[in-house]
């Protein structure tokens, strides 16, 4: 197939020198050879055997890294001198006789250094980056599901968890970037992974934390991230990291993105829901928490069923299908593999019930994400039912964004409820005023500062034909925190349903009974 993508270490040619070029005759690594433009203090060069995880576990001959704002300089200097380290990589001069290598950004320097020491681990696997404003986590998991199903050992790094190709885990740290990400790629390669799927952060891209990695495939989901400053463009930064033989997979529903890629002469492959594309996914039917999609590539079409509902989820499936097409997989097998991903925590997660309203838990925060979730939820509710929305807002958000959230809640839902997490109660009133700025009928909005009470009230007042959407309230921190917060929301829903069932039973039993009329005859 003309779009086929291959990954091999031979496809990468270093621009300057390899890991072996930084080695001295004694087998140690020279920082002057790695960073010829860096400044050195208390010595001409730093020759080290390996990099210490931290100064407390450092051994003689190792390199120690000093991070401003994270490490105590006095304690680091004392420990480094006592342990006889080879040198210190730092952004500022430290008052000690240990040789120091002064660089502009420690994180960027560590990424470059790790990449050279590990001999470019990103070139040893098929590297897939997923970037965009919405749908990154779901698309990353769909791609990982597809790659594993076709027999490729796959490592992945997402907001909800990670895997090195063997062990899946829920990390207690933020998404790794720079040197940590390069090290993770090295570990995944050592574990036998043949592919790596990486969810990319816009902020990290702007800082250049992916500059030591090259991508064979780059998926762009949602709409391009809006640039609101005069700094570097995150989108441009990740596009620059696509290999010469790499492919950018983008949405045909975003014409300005297609024009931008055409101007840059990128190899592109398109997917779409509304407009013609290389891969299209049409939403045929959606009911009872199931969606039926018709996925088409060229003259071949295949139907699939999925529990991930909505047009945004259909676009995510189309993007993941595009990866399978580029790997020369039959369309029928691709859609079958993608159907295997039944649920994604906090991403249109449906909690069904026969006796009360269905509940959808979604961690959407931005206006674009909220609008996509509410559109999908409105299509899922039963005929004659109402759509409730319990939206937890972040008081630190921009007032314009909060006003847009209010407008979406009023437009798409029948009963919008604005709330916040417990830690933000002190600033809830100020933020709720910003939300009301985007609302035409302010009396329609109900403000409840306690998120748990807001959920309890919505479930108790809704009927079995209604649908309740719980938005936000999930901090986009590390995976472990996200999963625990999502689990807490689901527990609140279940406890509210049980309490509502008990109260309903009490109301029925306590209602006045009408005695039957008995004739005297």
Whether residue 179 sits in one domain with residue 316: yes
DSSP letter assigned to residue 295: E
Q: Is residue 23 part of a domain?
A: no
Q: Is residue 17 part of a domain?
A: no
Q: Is residue 514 part of a domain?
A: no
The count of structural domains within the chain is 3
Whether residue 363 sits in one domain with residue 320: no
Q: For position 307, which CATH number holds? A: 3.40.1190.10
CB 77 within 8 A of CB 58: no
Statement: residue 509 has pLDDT above 60: no
Q: For position 84, which CATH number holds? A: 3.40.1390.10
Whether residue 266 sits in one domain with residue 123: yes
- Note the pLDDT of residue 127: 95
Q: Is residue 299 part of a domain?
A: yes
Domain boundary residue among 82, 104, 126? 104
Domain boundary residue among 104, 139, 161? 104
**Over the stretch 291-336, which tens digit does the pLDDT of each residue have?**
889 999 999 999 998 888 888 889 999 999 999 999 999 999 999 9
**Over the stretch 179-231, which tens digit does the pLDDT of each residue have?**
899 999 999 999 999 999 999 998 899 989 999 999 999 999 987 655 555 66
Whether residue 322 sits in one domain with residue 359: no
**Over the stretch 1-21, which tens digit does the pLDDT of each residue have?**
334 554 433 333 333 334 445
Provide the strand spans (E) within 164-318.
168-169, 195-199, 215-221, 242-251, 268-272, 279-287, 290-297, 300-306
Whether residue 447 sits in one domain with residue 383: yes
**Of the candidates 116, 143, 150, the residue with the CA atom closest to the CA atom of residue 128:** 143
**Over the stretch 327-380, which tens digit does the pLDDT of each residue have?**
999 999 999 999 988 888 888 888 887 888 888 898 888 888 899 889 888 887
Q: Is residue 110 part of a domain?
A: no
DSSP letter assigned to residue 24: -
Whether residue 379 sits in one domain with residue 295: no
Whether residue 331 sits in one domain with residue 364: no
Mean pLDDT of the chain: 85
Distance between CA 455 and CA 391 in Å, rounded?
10
The first and second tokens of residue 255, run together, are 């014409």
**Over the stretch 40-74, which tens digit does the pLDDT of each residue have?**
999 999 999 889 888 888 999 999 999 998 899 99
**Of the candidates 372, 307, 318, 374, the residue with the CA atom closest to the CA atom of residue 340:** 307
Which helix (H) or strand (E) segment is 271 a member of?
strand 268-272
Whether residue 336 sits in one domain with residue 283: yes
Q: For position 390, which CATH number holds? A: 3.90.190.20
CB 326 within 8 A of CB 126: no
Q: Is residue 364 part of a domain?
A: yes
Query: With pLDDT > 90 as the criterion, what percentage of the chain qualifies?
Result: 43
**How many residues does the structure list for the chain?**
521
Whether residue 491 sits in one domain with residue 424: yes
**Of the candidates 421, 456, 390, 412, the residue with the CA atom closest to the CA atom of residue 310:** 412
Give 75: exposed, middle or buried? Use CB within 10 Å, 0-12, 13-18, 19+: exposed
Whether residue 442 sits in one domain with residue 362: yes
Strand pairing category for 290-297 and 50-51: unpaired
| Chain centroid, CA 153 distance in Å | 21
Domain boundary residue among 340, 364, 385? 340
What is the mean pLDDT of the segment spanning 436-443? 89
- Note the pLDDT of residue 317: 94
Dump the DSSP string for 122-174.
GGSSEEEEEEESS-HHHHHHHHHHHHHHTT--EEEEETTEEESSS-EE--SSP
Whether residue 317 sits in one domain with residue 194: yes
Whether residue 440 sits in one domain with residue 364: yes
Which domain covers residue 69, as residue numbers? 29-104
The first and second tokens of residue 495, run together, are 């406890």
- Phi, psi at 228, each rounded to 5°: -115, 20
Q: Is residue 83 part of a domain?
A: yes
Residue 514 — pLDDT band, cuts 50, 70, 90? low
Cβ neighbours of residue 413 closer than 8 Å, sequence gap 6 or more: 374, 378, 387, 388, 389, 469
Q: Is residue 521 part of a domain?
A: no
What is the value of pTM for the model shown?
0.82
């Amino acid at each position: 197939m003309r779009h086929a993508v291959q990954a091999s270490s031979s496809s990468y040619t270093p621009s300057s020198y390899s890991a072996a070029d930084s080695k001295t005759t004694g087998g140690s690594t020279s920082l002057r050879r790695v960073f010829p433009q860096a400044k050195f203090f208390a010595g001409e060069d730093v020759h080290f055997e390996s990099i210490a995880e931290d100064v407390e576990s450092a051994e003689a001959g190792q390199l120690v890294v000093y991070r401003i704002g994270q490490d105590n300089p006095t304690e680091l200097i004392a420990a480094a001198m006592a342990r006889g380290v080879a040198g210190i990589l730092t952004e500022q001069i430290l008052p000690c006789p240990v040789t120091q290598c002064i660089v502009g950004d420690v994180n960027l320097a560590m990424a470059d250094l790790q990449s050279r020491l590990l001999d470019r681990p990103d070139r040893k696997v098929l590297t897939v980056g997923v970037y965009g404003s919405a749908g990154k986590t779901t698309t990353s998991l769909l791609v990982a599901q597809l790659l594993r199903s076709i027999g490729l050992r796959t490592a992945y790094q997402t907001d909800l968890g990670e895997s090195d190709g063997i062990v899946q885990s829920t990390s207690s740290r933020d998404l790794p970037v720079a040197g940590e990400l390069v090290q993770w790629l090295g570990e995944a390669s050592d574990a036998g992974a043949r592919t790596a799927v990486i969810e990319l952060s816009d902020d990290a891209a702007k800082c250049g934390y992916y500059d030591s990695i090259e991508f064979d495939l780059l998926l762009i989901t949602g709409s391009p991230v809006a640039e609101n400053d005069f700094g570097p463009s995150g989108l441009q930064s990740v596009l620059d990291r696509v290999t010469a033989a790499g492919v950018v997979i983008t949405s045909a529903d975003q014409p300005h993105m297609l024009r931008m890629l055409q101007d840059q002469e990128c190899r592109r492959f398109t997917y779409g829901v509304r407009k013609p594309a290389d891969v299209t996914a049409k939403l045929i039917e959606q009911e009872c928490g199931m969606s039926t999609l018709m996925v088409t590539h060229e003259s071949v079409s295949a139907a699939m069923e999925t529990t991930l509902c909505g047009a945004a989820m259909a676009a995510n499936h189309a993007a993941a299908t595009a990866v399978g097409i580029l790997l020369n997989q039959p369309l029928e097998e691709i859609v079958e593999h993608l159907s295997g991903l039944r649920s994604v925590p906090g991403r249109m997660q449906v909690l069904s019930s026969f006796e009360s309203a269905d509940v959808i838990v979604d961690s959407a925060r931005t206006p674009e994400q909220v609008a996509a979730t509410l559109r999908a939820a409105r299509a899922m509710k039963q005929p004659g039912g109402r759509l409730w929305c319990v939206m937890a807002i972040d008081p630190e958000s921009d007032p314009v964004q909060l006003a847009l959230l209010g407008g979406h809640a009023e437009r798409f839902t029948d009963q919008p409820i604005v709330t916040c997490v417990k830690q933000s109660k002190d600033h809830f009133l100020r933020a709720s005023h910003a939300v009301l700025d985007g609302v035409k009928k302010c009396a329609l909005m109900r403000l409840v500062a306690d998120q748990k009470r807001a959920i309890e009230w919505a479930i108790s007042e809704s009927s079995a034909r209604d649908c309740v959407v719980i938005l936000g309230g999930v901090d986009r921190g590390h995976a472990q925190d996200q999963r625990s917060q999502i689990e807490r929301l689901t527990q609140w829903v279940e406890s509210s349903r049980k309490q509502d069932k008990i109260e309903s039973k009490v109301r029925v039993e306590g209602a006045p009974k009408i005695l039957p009329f008995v004739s005297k005859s």
